[in-house]
Amino acid sequence: MNSQNGQGFYSKYIKGVWPYWLGAVFLGLLNVLFLYFYHRFWSFSAAFAYWGGWLFQELGVSIENWPYFNHYKYIGIFKETFFENTETLLVLGMIGGALLSALAAGEFRIRKVKSKKHVYFALAGGFLMGYGARLSFGCNIGAYLSAIGSMSLHGWIFGIFTFFGALVGSKILIKYFL
């Protein structure tokens, strides 16, 4: 393979933009592989709740009687170490994969924050999204992607309401805050 062909592969498949359908196929395959190897559905946002629980335990706060952590899915979670937890490894893998993708495509940039207002809105939005994901026992991956992939009706309902919620939320944000 000459350098021209190697550069063409890099430009087309690494640096170039992939079509949405290809990303959807890869996400679907990853979801099926996760189900096959771990015998449960793919989830993401639960890791942040676990991290908070581990932090509270390290600070000496007893969380054993908290209703959230008494749910059947979370009873044994604190017997694992941080790096034995599947959701933690998924989060770290996604962050690492996104970083490697951005670096490989030459798109990684450290940008100056435009204003403190953007920082506050980003932090508030991230907190509210995480809190909402934990209240509903699922985020867009667990409650949407995995649910639709397993032909569950709640995934479609989640998707429809997420779409309309994002539409209304963005209009409010643009009209009153940006």
Q: Model confidence over 99-131: pLDDT tens digits?
A: 998 898 888 898 888 888 889 988 998 888 888
Structure pTM? 0.71
Q: How far is the C-alpha of 57 from the C-alpha of 118, rounded, in Å? A: 32
Which residue stretches of 105-149 are H helix? 116-135, 146-149
Given this model, what pLDDT does residue 73 score?
Answer: 66
Given this model, what pLDDT does residue 4 score?
Answer: 56
Confidence of residue 92 (pLDDT cuts 50, 70, 90): very high
